[in-house]
Chain A
């Protein structure tokens, strides 16, 4: 099993450009999450999903959109990238049962110029 994978690993964007980050998991997990990690700020929750077709806002949702059309995939979109969105983005997934371990993807390093 590949676990949680993220595409791409690195990306450089210009201000105003758009892009989509893909997260895929092969563990049949119901819950999926997107976090951003900035120096000294820890992991901040952007959006999450508790199942196919459902999404919800986290701590810092502004400037991002998400979709969960398939159970195994969770997409994070930036419609008009800003330098403040320069960060490392981590996806994570967990089983439906409460209090289970989050499995993280390897991360995507995004730079917005």
Chain B
């Protein structure tokens, strides 16, 4: 089955700097890659997603890149702000299953 690896597990960046979180997946048939943000005590919420026929997608300060050949995808957050502090999860979908990575705890330092 699908396996999703996510790195790093913890990331601290200065406010205003960029943050990058990377994920790899094992099943080449996976075709949809969402990213979720989870604030403390809250439910995960989708922040951006990308389909396998696209290499990059951007939404304001957030972007996702996908390299199908290497089977990895990354989340980029620019101009980080205090409200970006949260746990971020990547995921990969193959058929009806969505498998998540273990998460990255992002700390934005003042």
Contacts and interface: CB of A to CB of B under 8 A. Distances in A.
Interface of A: 31, 33, 35, 40-45, 48, 50, 56, 58-59, 90, 98-99, 101-102, 104-107
Given A44-B100, A59-B1, A99 B43 contact: no
A38 B99 CA distance: 15
A104 B43 contact: yes
Given A42-B103, A99-B93, A90 B44 contact: yes
Contact of B49 (A99, A104, A106, A107): A99
B43 A105 contact: yes
A102 B6 contact: no
A31 B101 CA distance: 20
4 closest A-B pairs by CB? A42-B102, A99-B32, A104-B43, A43-B100
A45 B44 contact: no
Contact of A42 (B1, B34, B97, B100): B100
Nearest to A42: B102
Interface of B: 1, 6, 9, 31-32, 34, 43-46, 49, 51, 89, 91, 93, 96-103
B97 A45 contact: yes
A56 B98 CA distance: 13
Contact of A107 (B31, B43, B99): B43
Q: Is the interface of B mostly helix, strand, loop or mixed?
A: strand
Contacts of B1: 59
A59 B99 contact: yes
Given A44-B100, A101-B34, A106-B43, 7 more contacts: A35-B100, A40-B9, A42-B89, A43-B89, A45-B97, A45-B99, A56-B96
A45 B91 CA distance: 11
A45 B103 contact: no
Given A105-B43, A107-B43, A50 B96 contact: yes
